[in-house]
Structure 1
Amino acid sequence: MEKSEVRPDGQYHYVEIPQTPDATPIRARRGRLTRLAVGLSFISLLMLSFMFIAIPGINFSHCHKLKYLFSPSKSGKMPVPASSRKVPFEAHIMSKCPDAEDCLQQLVIPAMEKISEKVDFELSFIASISNQSSDITCKHGPGECIGDMLILCAQDLPFSPEGEAEKTYRMPTIRSLGFANCLISQYARIPDRTLVHNCALQHGIDFEALNSCVSKEEDDPSDDDLSGLALLRQSAIHNANLGVSTSCTVRLDDSVWCVRDGAVWKDCAKEGNGSKVSVLVEEVERLWKAKN
């Protein structure tokens, strides 16, 4: 599996703004965003508003549990590509969370280098939505919501292998996960335009397609175009239905495997050894053999 080691040194500045709560909502009303100007183009948004915003009072050293603003229902589960012979493997994260960076680099990516062809892998994003409004709330602010949408869009972009232009598949995990790791390895800069552009270039992701997906104003578009807002809402509902609220929570075969929280591995399977790559790989191999 290719890794993202190149870290672009794009210039950015800090903008001081008044004290704000940890969570800032993105709101869609009648399919439109009203609190955050995602109706502007994503590129303009990155250049003008989110080069990097330092928000006083937000602690980036821990990602505590995010309280859901609604009661999860039994519906709304995010679909996973059907593949009964592969083992479900999922990481639930927040894009601007240091525990997400540790989780990907210490466990998920090293394991995926060995077992990527035997798992159905998904990155899911923890956010809050409300029954009383159309708000989407991300713990580390609107920049995190954009980061979440970028990675969700990258996962679902169409892909045509070289020489097979007539065939369209979902973006290969090796590319979308590499892109996610590239962004999250510099999570404090999300959604800096230079960072996003360079990560997309490194991993063969169409930047203009990302722009289109994240800029989509419709919460639930009627056509086949991807909407980052709809994908994030779907992902938030999926996490809530599972009762997952901590970044990073790793699930294997539909059960919690290990949790990275406050720079510590917790609640890991196999008598606490589930944070070891070798133990995770061994379990995937066992489950794979059982399914095949």
Structure 2
Amino acid sequence: METQQRYVLGKRDEEGFYPVTVDEIPAGTVHRRHGSWYATMPGHPVQRAADRHQAAAHLVTLIDQGNRPTGPAPAPRTPASPIEGLRATRSYSHLVPQLRLSLANLVRAAEAMARLAELGWRPLEGYPGADQPWLMQCRLCGWKGRRFWSHLRGRNSDGIPRPITRHPGCKPVSEHAQALSDLAALRTSSCPCPPFPRDKHPMDVDACLDVLTSIQAALDGKAHMSAAIHARSILEPCPAATRRATALRAAYERHVKTQRDLKAGKGK
């Protein structure tokens, strides 16, 4: 209890970092990434923790040991492997550096981006995961800022984005339905995009399965550039993104079942 009373968490910044003072001494920051908390004191190793209080307590320990922040804060999005940080598209629609490039994450990213289009948002950076601040633009009024995908997708799978007011200064709630209806008219059920690099974006389960299989084969062979080229076809903006995301989910589930069956057969 004594340790908890000695530190103060400041206001979270746009990147999700909380500044921490210990006995009124600037000690570093704590932040949450994909279910875990981390304590960061510039000039010292980042420490993983179970919750924000444990993370802050680590900074208290460092201060008590005579440590002080030195040098610039470490970059919060440093890739942990050659695969991580790989930009999968030519635009903003790529995974952020610390989100591992895997089939599961790629499908989640495609689903999130498709749903953002339905809700009137345009992502301005790659999909960071459900519980991380995501820079995006409101297509109803042009506002730019960070929102959490977990808030936009709704709670307990109810599909109702929060808050209803979208963000401070947005159009009145009474005008949202018509604005979203106007945007919906721009979406299509087939891909009108020019072929790149060879074919249009995959729109049915078999085509999506071919792409996912190619990505997995490239990752298994550490052919990261090849994986990136294939990933572009499922992450690039497309007016038919909703149909593509639905097909990708079905293809991914088929892929997982096939792999599970193969492993079960080998074990017999």
* Greater relative CO, 1 or 2 (CA 8 Å, sep 6+): 1
Say whether the fold is shared (TM-score over 0.5).
no
Normalising by structure 2, report the TM-score: 0.23
* Structure whose CA Rg is larger: 2
| TM-score where L is the length of structure 1 | 0.22
